[in-house]
Structure 1
Amino acid sequence: MKKKILIVDDELTTCTLLEHFLSTQYDVVTKTSGLQALVWLEQDLPDLIISDIQMTEMNGFDFLKEVRLKGYTKHTPVIMLSGRTESKERIKCYQLGAQDYLMKPFNPEELEEVVKKNLFPIHYSSNW
């Protein structure tokens, strides 16, 4: 059974790119807002969430807070995406409970490695 990844981004181009890169190995669900994603999370549970920070309706910080407050998603790994380079934003993501942070535009190889690291943390390294 494939691992399930939830992608949350209000930019359809980013959703399409992420889905393209990840759908060969994983089941990918995309939502275009944090509010849509929270409604979806009431019915389903992903193995990993990838969320943009700058979104309309609900920004990624608020979405991440809500994810961490829910018992059933409290421990779900979250990777945050942003086009901003300020370390203050990355630090805030980590303080709110994100496991990783990727810059837009992202490198597909880095995306693949960060996703694997979060889905298979114990078995990630092929060389010990």
Structure 2
Amino acid sequence: MKKKILVLDDEVSICLLLENFLSKNYEVISLNNGLDALLWLDNNIPDLIISDIQMETMDGYEFLTNLRQRGFTKHTPCIMLSGKSESKERIKCYKLGAQDYLTKPFNPEELEELVKKNLFPIHYAIDW
């Protein structure tokens, strides 16, 4: 069974890009705002979440805060995407419980490595 990844971004083009890139190896579900994602999470548990920060209805910070307050998703790995590269933005995400932070435009190879690291943390390294 393929691992399930929830992609959350209000830019349809980013969702399509991530779906296209990730769907070869993973089941990908795309949603366009934090409220829809929280409703979806009421009945589903993904193996990984990739979320934009700057969104209209509910920003990524608020989504991440809600995600960590829920029992079933408290420990679900989350990679945050942002157009902001400032260290303070990364630190804020880490303090809210994000595992990783990737700046847009992102390198697909780096995204692939972050996804593998978060989905398979023990078996991630090729050489020990």
> In structure 2, what is the equivalent of residue 33 of structure 1?
33
Report the secondary structure of 1:43's partner residue: coil
Q: Pairwise mapping of residues 44-83 of structure 1 onto structure 2 (< 5 A)?
A: 44-83=44-83
CA distance in 1, matches of 2:24, 2:13: 18
| 2:1 is equivalent to residue 5 of structure 1 | no
> In structure 2, what is the equivalent of residue 93 of structure 1?
93
CA distance in 1, matches of 2:57, 2:11: 13
TM-score by length of 2: 0.99
How well do the aligned residues superpose, as a CA RMSD in angstroms?
0.4
Runs of 4+ in structure 1 deviating by more than 2 angstroms, as ranges, are none
Count the aligned residue pairs.
128
Letter in 1 for 2:117: K
Q: Deviations over 1:75-103 (max 9, x none)?
A: 00000000011110000000000000001
Report the secondary structure of 1:98's partner residue: coil
Report the secondary structure of 1:123's partner residue: coil
CA distance in 1, matches of 2:127, 2:106: 25
Identity %: 68
Report the secondary structure of 2:56's partner residue: coil
TM-score by length of 1: 0.99
Q: CA shift at 1:126, angstroms?
A: 1.1
Give structure 1 stretches of 5+ with no counterpart.
none
